[in-house]
């Protein structure tokens, strides 16, 4: 019997009425002959609320205790959903991560899944039960409860689907799929029927918030077909329609992709840029600048080092805006201590806009079309970075939405 994993986000689990709707949908799938494992998030707002309580007591809460607290939202969800399914006459059983168990490492608040034991769950499924497992949480080797980072239920669901060799992982959320860009910025953004795993990975890392990036990595590593679809439709809609709705994250060679060179425009508003001027152009400099930044646990994204003039060069890089002040401090110290370079300047009002598409591999001229479009709008490009399937530019944040709209139009991504 085919096994399907369903994941429901916080909005979908947001009230007891919504949970009853989730139960109806799950029961419908079960009635159609599928084995079902459900992985819900905490009810919307709940994780924020309980983390807020911790912060009322401590400005810098002990991460172990924070995970003990943060993980409880999902425990309420699974119990409520089990009750709702039982009320519909289904056999349903809920488990916390440690009961499965879902083993993780011990990095509290951002733990990584190490293994998932399928024995108990498989036995329940064989017994006709619907199994409901908490998203977001796991347990380390010593029995401590861990969480997988905010938005981590997506990762739980895909990892559970992979461990149980499910046919598909369905991520039910408050949007009906993955769009060419954020519909709040471009009103005629179009829903994609399919997106390749690689494109999804780029879009997730470039700022699209539909899925937690690690869940996409799991989907890719285990080749788990994963579909993003709406939980806000009629829970009793015909299964045949539901099965093909949303956006399927696919593996390029398996599907007939939509014929477009560019698949989407991603953006990230919250970037910041730091530049060190007059850096001596000699071995070890990049490491001396970026090593301390990495040691401070700050993620560096784009990097540019200019051609040197008279043995000196400029070195620019970007970091998430939330880390800007810290990065500036670290940079000031390390430059003073080791490099003896000139000025440091920064700009925390920059945004990154990217065009993404596997079609880039087989089409030339995407970069020039992108740059022409931005130039036509009078938008200055501060930095550029590329991969095989994306081109990103850093621009003044004032022009971010304008750039996204212009590029969406230039690459003809709008709905027909
Ligand atoms: N409840 C957790 C959070 O709010 C995990 C999730 O929703 O995916 O981040
Ligand atoms: Mg989420």
Ligand 1 close to Cβ of residue 135 (< 6 A): yes
Residue nearest to atom 6 of ligand 1 (CA): 151
Cα dihedral 34, 159, 90, 242, rounded to 10, equals: -50
Contacts of 260 by beta carbon, 8 Å cutoff, 6+ apart? 357, 359, 411, 412, 413
Q: 247 with 295, same domain?
A: no
And the tokens for 366? 């995407």
Distance between CA 91 and CA 363 in Å, rounded? 53
Please state, for a pLDDT cut of 90, what percent of the chain lies above it: 82
pTM, 2 dp = 0.86
Which residues 6+ apart lie within 8 Å of 143 measured at CB?
98
Q: What is the pLDDT of residue 276?
A: 92
Return the pLDDT at 317: 96
pLDDT digits (tens, 9 = 90+) for 373-405: 999 999 999 999 999 999 999 999 999 999 999
User: Hey, which of 153, 157, 216 would you mutate to test ligand 1's pocket, going by the most ligand atoms within 8 Å of its Cβ?
Assistant: 153
**pLDDT for 180 beyond 90:** yes
Q: Is residue 416 part of a domain?
A: no
Same domain, 116 and 234: yes
Whether the pLDDT of residue 52 is over 80: the answer is yes
Whole-number pLDDT of residue 257: 53
Least confident segment among 87-96, 244-253, 309-318, 405-414? 244-253
Residue 195 lies in a domain: no
- 140: confidence class by pLDDT, cuts 50, 70, 90: very high
14 Cβ below 6 A of ligand 1: no
Q: Is residue 19 classed exposed, middle or buried when 0-12, 13-18 and 19+ CB atoms within 10 A define those classes?
A: buried
pLDDT at 258 over 70: no
Token readout for 250 is 């696919």
**Is 137 close to ligand 1, i.e. is its CB under 6 Å away?**
no
43 and 104, same structural domain? Answer: yes
Residue 181 lies in a domain: no
Q: What is the pLDDT of residue 341?
A: 63
pLDDT at 252: 66
pLDDT over 50 (residue 289): yes
Per-residue pLDDT reduced to its tens digit, 5-33? 999 999 999 999 999 999 999 999 999 99
- Is position 209 annotated in a ligand binding site? yes
pLDDT tens figures, 331-375: 999 887 777 767 899 999 999 999 999 989 888 899 999 999 999
Taking only Cα atoms into account, the Rg of the chain, rounded to an integer number of angstroms, comes to 23
Does residue 246 sit in the same domain as residue 300? no
The answer to whether 342 is a known ligand-binding residue is no
Q: Give, using CA atoms, the residue closest to atom 8 of ligand 1.
A: 151
Distance from residue 72's CA to the centre of ligand 1 (Å): 11
Q: Where residue 267 falls among pLDDT bands split at 50, 70, 90?
A: very high
Are 70 and 135 in contact by the 8 Å Cβ rule? The answer is no
Inter-residue contact 383 to 317 (CB < 8 Å)? no
- Is any ligand 1 atom within 6 A of the Cβ of residue 235? no
Distance 210 CA to ligand 2 centre (A): 7
142 close to 106: Cβ distance less than 8 angstroms: yes
Give the distance (Å) from ligand 1 centre to CA of residue 297. 22
Task: Quote the CA–CA distance of 136 and 78 in Å, as a whole number.
Answer: 12
Question: Residue 101: which domain range?
Answer: 3-175+210-252
Residue 197 lies inside a defined structural domain of this protein? no
241/302 same-domain check: no
Region 48-59: mean pLDDT is 97
Which of 221, 252, 283 represents a domain boundary (last residue)? 252
Residue 10 assigned as binding residue: yes
Structural contact between residues 214 and 148, judged by C-beta atoms closer than 8 angstroms: yes
| 147 labelled ligand-binding | no
Mutate to test the pocket of ligand 1, among 43, 45, 46, 47 (most ligand atoms within 8 A of CB): 47
Domain match, 68 and 162 both: yes
Instruction: Give the chain's domain count.
Output: 2
Instruction: Say if residue 236's pLDDT is above 50.
Output: yes
Cβ of 326 less than 6 Å from ligand 1: no
Q: How many angstroms is it from 143 CA to the middle of ligand 1? A: 21
Evaluate: CB of 357 within 6 angstroms of ligand 1: no
Considering every ligand atom, which ligand is closest to the CA of 212?
Answer: 2
Domain boundary among 219, 252, 285: 252
Could you tell me if the CB of 97 is within 6 A of ligand 1? Answer: no
């Amino acid at each position: 019997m085919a096994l399907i994993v369903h994941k429901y986000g916080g909005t979908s689990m947001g009230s007891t009425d919504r949970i009853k709707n989730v139960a109806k949908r799950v029961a419908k799938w079960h009635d159609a002959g599928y084995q079902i494992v459900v992985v819900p998030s905490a009810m919307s707002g709940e994780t924020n609320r309980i983390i807020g309580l911790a912060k009322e007591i401590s400005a810098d809460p002990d991460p172990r205790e924070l995970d003990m607290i943060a993980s409880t939202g999902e425990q309420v969800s699974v119990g409520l959903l089990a009750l709702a399914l039982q009320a519909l006459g289904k056999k349903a059983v809920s488990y916390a991560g440690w009961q499965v168990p879902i083993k993780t490492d011990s990095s509290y608040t951002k733990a990584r899944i190490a293994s998932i034991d399928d024995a108990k769950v498989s036995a329940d499924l064989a017994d006709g039960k619907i199994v409901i497992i908490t998203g977001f949480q796991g347990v380390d080797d010593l029995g401590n409860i861990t969480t997988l980072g905010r938005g981590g239920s997506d990762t739980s669901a895909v990892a559970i689907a992979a461990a149980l060799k499910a046919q598909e992982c369905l991520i039910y959320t408050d949007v009906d799929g993955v769009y060419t860009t954020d519909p709040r910025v471009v009103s005629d953004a179009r829903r994609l029927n399919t997106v390749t795993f690689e494109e999804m990975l780029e879009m997730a890392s470039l700022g699209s918030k539909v899925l937690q990036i690690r869940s996409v990595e799991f989907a890719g590593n285990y080749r788990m077909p994963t579909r993003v679809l709406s939980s806000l439709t009629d829970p009793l809609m015909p299964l045949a329609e539901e099965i093909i709705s949303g956006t399927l994250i696919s593996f390029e060679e398996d599907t007939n992709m939509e014929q477009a060179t560019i698949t989407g425009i991603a953006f990230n508003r919250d970037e910041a840029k730091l530049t060190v001027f007059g850096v001596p152009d000699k071995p070890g400099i990049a490491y001396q600048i970026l090593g301390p930044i990495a040691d401070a646990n700050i993620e560096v994204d784009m990097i540019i080092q200019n051609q040197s003039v008279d043995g000196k060069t400029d070195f620019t890089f970007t970091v998430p805006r939330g880390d800007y002040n810290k990065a500036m401090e670290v940079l000031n110290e390390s430059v003073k201590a080791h490099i003896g370079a000139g000025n440091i300047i920064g700009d925390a009002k920059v945004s990154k806009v990217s065009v993404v598409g596997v079609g880039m591999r087989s089409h030339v001229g995407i970069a020039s079309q992108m740059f022409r479009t931005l130039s036509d709008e009078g938008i200055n490009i501060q930095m550029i970075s590329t991969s095989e399937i994306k081109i990103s530019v850093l621009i003044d944040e004032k022009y971010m939405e304008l750039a996204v709209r212009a590029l969406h139009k230039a690459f003809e991504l709008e709905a027909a």
